[in-house]
Structure 1
Amino acid sequence: MPYAPAAAAQNLPTLGDTSRETLSPLMERKLGEEVMHDIRRDPDYMTDAPLLEYLNNFGWTLVNARPDVRGEAGFDFFFFAVRDPVLNAFALPGGFIGVHSGLLLAAQSESELASVLAHEIGHVAQRHIARMVGSQKQDSMIALASMLLGLLTMRGSPDAGAAVMMGGTGLAMQRQLNFSRDAEREADRIGLSILDAGGFDTSGMVVFFGRLQTASRNYSDAVPPYLLTHPLTTERIADIEARIREQRYRQHADSLDFQLIRARVRVLQDDTELGRREAQFFFETQLKQNTKQQIVAAKYGMAFLAFKQEDYGKAEALLEEAMAAAAPARKNLVLTDLGIEIMLATKREAEALKLVEQAQLQYPLSRGLAHQYARVLIASKRLDEATKYLREQAQLYRQDADVQDLLAQAYSAQGKRALQHMALAESYVLTGSVPAALDQLRIARNAPDAGFYDQSMIDARERELQARWKEELQASKDR
């Protein structure tokens, strides 16, 4: 994730008296992290590295266009995707912003996608959720987290969401989270200012809302999830249109990455046989549009689809066609990522290592490439290099659970059982599963190669986690 500078000025308006808030920025972030721990365990949470990297690079471009949206709390925004065909996006407390795969596919331009993300950034900047739940006691974190998860569960099944939020206050709290008209207009205004500062076409917001209204007709009597928490009114659209008329029109050229990621999401959204056939048909139709980006995206989509079907020869041939069509941008990170994956799958570790090292020179901050580099080192049996590199990565990126998982793989290949399970314990901690982490530490303690220093490290970490788990259990009882 790109470095985000601290806010230079706090010139965003505030709704209400912040001194009266009972949900502090620290508690707001903690609440968001509580919800994210559960979301990350959901099988529909999309862990795809190129997708996450694109969303966060794109999202931080928007944040950096108006750095004051980070506010006094200096929230570190995190953008992620959920596998769901329903058009939806949502902001969680503390700077976590999610989008559904269906929305990514429905957005016809980067300006449309930017309008959605910028609007959600506006909600976070104004701390709308924090203000709405601010009257709740700070010791009701689990209830608040359950409420938020319930709303997210209602993506395609309102009954499932209601089950999560069962209790006398469930429906009342759901209504609390439905953003008010004033809050929506506030988020729209901030979103438009972000779009303008970032060089995007501000009309993308109106176009997206128009598409959302059209899509809402397909929901029969049910209200689309996005409209459930983001009430859309004719007055609101008119207000956006009036603001757009005051701004200078600018045309924003979509990046190649936008088209490639949408092709990738189309394959990832539905891995059934029917879903794959529909994706193939879409890409074949896309090829007929005969524009450069569409051709590259279609070829790439078919290559990625072939890769997922383990037809690596076909995948490599199609990828080469995509790269040839993309020239001179054939060194694109998304294209390169698939090339490395194909080489790993076909046991060509030396070629993969050369390619990933070249790519890292061009994209030194890419987390996806960092993970691929470690995987290539492990596959190449260069285990000492892998563990050294991953330990350095673990120090630099302390919240990266994937690094700990890779470190565990490297230790396992070396036969270092104690260190393997210690690394797995840290991975579980980062994904919010303290009991599983404690289990891994117990396994590490009993490993035959656990030395005195390892035992000391295990004991110290176990005491920390046991105290943390005790606090969590006590807090759960209090609530």
Structure 2
Amino acid sequence: MAAPDAPLRKPDSTRLPTLGDAARGDLSPIVERKLGEEIMRDVRRDPAYLDDDPIIEYLNNFGSALVTAVPGARGETNSDFFFFAMRDTALNAFALPGGFIGAHTGLMVAAQTESELAGVMSHEIGHVSQRHIARMLGQQKQDVLLPLAAMILAALAAKASPDAAMGVLMGGQGLAVQRQLNFSREAEREADRVGFQIMSAGGYDTTGMVGFFKRLQSASKLYGDIPAHMASLSSHPLTAERITDMQARIREIPRKPRVDNVDFQLVRARARILQDETVSGRRDAKNAFETQLKETHRHQQAGAQYGLAFLALRQGNVADAQSWLEKARATMKPKEGVFSIEAGAGDGALLFDGLAIEIKLAPGQPAAVVEQAVKDADAARQRYPLSRAIARQYGEALIASGKVEEATRYLREQTQLYREEPKLHDMLAQAYAKQGRIALQHMALAESYVVAGALPAAVAQLDLARKANDVSFYDQAVIDARERELKARQKLEKEEEKER
């Protein structure tokens, strides 16, 4: 079923269309999610995967707000979305099976407003909610899902298509699967319409979708050196028809001017630096920030100052990092007695506090400064109880300050509450190592590998734990039980692979 042609008029009462079994084909929601998780395990191991807590947290808060803006945006499968970033200068975003949505750092840097970013991300949410990937893959037999996963990963590695998840394929079989991987024109229009509904309901300026897509259309001309057999597999054709359709929708509803959260500018600054940390990349980032400092809007100025602070930190200059951070805070500090239209748009406090802790935990900092980082991180987690980035920083600060007993207690609690966060298991292993508790160190590392989907490596860690000199009788029992469980899972996965 296609999305309704009429633009959204009452966001609170509008539901997105759902697809029936006929459209879904043979690909079940469970298989779709499993395929997405399988791909994500490899994506996370890709050096281009940007494992930066503040950026991931921002994208997921931002994306989750979009998803919850319209009833039914999660689709009939009620997808659990996960948003992540890839270190790449291309203006690109893509959807993977099962609700995983990636954005290239180039996209984040190029977006001039949150509304532009919302337009692109809402479009990708539209692909997921309407199960476009499942509809394409569902027409295949289940025994070809693993080859398709490999093809999608090849596309991600190529990083040249306008849609990395569904685009470029190397070799002679590329043309044979083109029809299977390319989104149809109708699917693209449907994602545009659904995305338009989502961003409008979320309170974003819908002109942002057209503005950014026009910029993306211009940027696509930069791909002129791609070999013809690869360029032909572009799966996000930005046709004039699509842009005209969006413009028509925009004219039918009042424009919603919106003041961006300053977090958008701060995260853009981090992305600009982390996407290219070569000497030339850092030089270009510094030049961009210095130009941005001349802007009159204080969000732009604060973003540039934050960027210069983060850049100085990455270069090991903690004094300059602290100085620029203080300037960024001062820029965003409300002026007494002066009314600001930006009130309520966010002051960047969470990201400022996080960077302040990063600076105090930088290599070479005196013990007293690291001790202060523990206090600051503890206070921050009280202020921002929902921030997983701050929660992990507190664990890092405890370890860095030598409070390993306290760190292990805290991290054990955290791993019980948030079992799917590999960083927590890694930090717990680090704390155990500092205590000389080798068996527990390997057991914690095993759990990290389980989360990453590397079951053989997890079993190997359990074997090392069993052989450790400090392993207790209780530890042995836990290791044996966990090993049996993991080996049973390995056997089941091998059987499923044979069936395919």
Q: Is TM (by shorter chain) over 0.5?
A: yes
1:84 corresponds in structure 2 to 88
The answer on whether the counterparts of 1:154 and 1:161 sit within 8 Å (CA) in structure 2 is no
Which one of the candidate residues 14, 26, 33 is aligned to 2:30? Answer: 26
Residues 16/72 of structure 1: CA separation in 2 closer, same or farther (3 Å cut): closer
Structure 1 pair 290/248, CA: closer, same or farther in 2 (3 Å)?
closer
TM-score (norm 2): 0.89
Contact 2:189 2:242 in 1 (8 A): yes
Contact map agreement 2:25 2:139 (CA 8 A) in 1: yes
Deviation at 1:161, TM superposition (A): 10
Separation in 2, partners of 1:313, 1:341 = 13
2:400 is equivalent to residue 394 of structure 1: no
What's 2:157 paired with? Answer: 153
Q: CA deviation at 1:419?
A: 0.8
Matched, 1:288 2:294: yes
Residue-by-residue CA offset, 1:283-316 (whole Å, 9 max, x unaligned)? 1111112321121111111111110011111111
Q: Aligned letter for 1:469?
A: Q
Residue 440 of structure 1 corresponds to 461
Given the alignment, which residue of 175, 179, 185 partners 1:181? Answer: 185
CA drift of 1:141 comes to 3.1
Aligned counterpart, 1:213: 217
Distance 2:85 2:232 in 1: 15
1:375 to 371, 386, 396: 396
Structure 2: gaps (5+ residues): 1-11, 335-345
Identify the residue that residue 5 of structure 1 maps to in structure 2.
none
Deviations 1:414-472 (A, max 9, x none): 11111111110110111121111111111111011111111111111111212222333
Residue aligned with 2:139, SS: coil
2:405 pairs, out of 384, 408, 428, with 384
Per mean C-alpha deviation after superposition, the further-off stretch among 447-456 and 139-148 is: 139-148
Deviations 1:29-73 (A, max 9, x none): 000000000000001100000000100000001011014111232
Q: Is the 8 A contact 1:266 1:279 kept in 2?
A: yes
2:339 aligned partner:
none
Q: Which residue of 2 aligns with 1:4?
A: none
Name which of structure 1's ranges 71-80 and 124-133 shifts more when overlaid on structure 2. 71-80
Letter in 1 for 2:355: L
Determine the structure 1 residue equivalent to 2:310.
Answer: 304
| Pairing of 1:244-393 with structure 2 (within 5 A) | 244-328=250-334, 332-345=349-362, 346-347=365-366, 348-393=369-414
Q: What is the aligned partner in structure 2 of residue 193 from structure 1?
A: 197
Q: Name the residue aligned to 1:72.
A: 76
Q: Percent identity?
A: 58
Amino acid at match of 2:407: A
SS at match of 2:277: coil
Q: 1:417 to 1:281 in 2, by over 3 A?
A: same
User: Given the superposition, is the C-alpha separation of residues 168 and 219 from structure 1 closer, same or farther in structure 2, using an over 3 Å criterion?
Assistant: closer
CA contact (8 A) 1:31 1:144 kept: no
Assess, with a 3 A threshold, how the Cα gap between structure 1 residues 97 and 302 changes in structure 2: closer, same or farther.
same
TM-score (norm 1): 0.93
> Equivalents in 1 of 2:248, 2:150: separation in Å?
38
Contact 1:153 1:161 in 2 (8 A): no
Q: Which amino acid aligns with 2:146?
A: I
Q: Gaps spanning 5+ residues in structure 1: where?
A: 1-7
Q: 1:477 to 1:170 in 2, by over 3 A?
A: farther
Cα separation, 1, equivalents of 2:321 and 2:167: 43
- Preserved CA contact (<8 Å) 1:65 1:194: yes
Matched, 1:138 2:159: no
Give the alignment's Cα RMSD to 1 decimal.
Answer: 2.5
- Aligned-pair CA distance for 1:19: 7.3
Greater shift after overlay, 263-272 or 14-23?
14-23
Q: Deviations over 1:363-399 (max 9, x none)?
A: 1110100100111111222222222221221122121
* Structure-1 residue corresponding to 2:44: 40
- Is the CA contact 1:188–1:240 (under 8 Å) kept in the aligned structure 2? yes
Q: Is the 8 A contact 2:111 2:212 kept in 1?
A: yes
CA drift at 1:138: 2.4
Distance 1:72 1:13, change over 3 A: closer
The answer (yes or no) to whether the contact 1:89–1:226 under 8 Å persists in 2 is no
Cα deviation code 1:217-262 (max 9, x no counterpart): 2222548989912122121111111111112211111110000111
- Whether contact under 8 Å (2:167, 2:233) holds in the other structure is no
**Quick one: distance in 2 between partners of 1:261 and 1:411?**
33
**CA shift at 1:18, angstroms?**
4.0
Bigger mean CA offset, 247-256 vs 49-58: 247-256
Alpha-carbon displacement from aligned partner over 1:129-152 (angstroms, at most 9, x marks no partner): 000010222243321211221222
Letter in 2 for 1:313: A
Q: Which amino acid aligns with 1:257?
A: D
SS of match in other structure, 1:108: coil
Q: Say if 2:484 is the partner of 1:463.
A: yes
Amino acid at match of 1:285: T
Cα distance in structure 2, aligned partners of 1:366 and 1:187: 31
Which residue number in structure 2 is paired with residue 3 of structure 1?
A: none
- Tell me, yes or no, if the aligned pair for 1:118 and 1:191 is still in contact at 8 Å: yes
Q: Which residue identity is paired with 1:237?
A: I
Deviates more, 1:215-224 or 1:276-285: 215-224
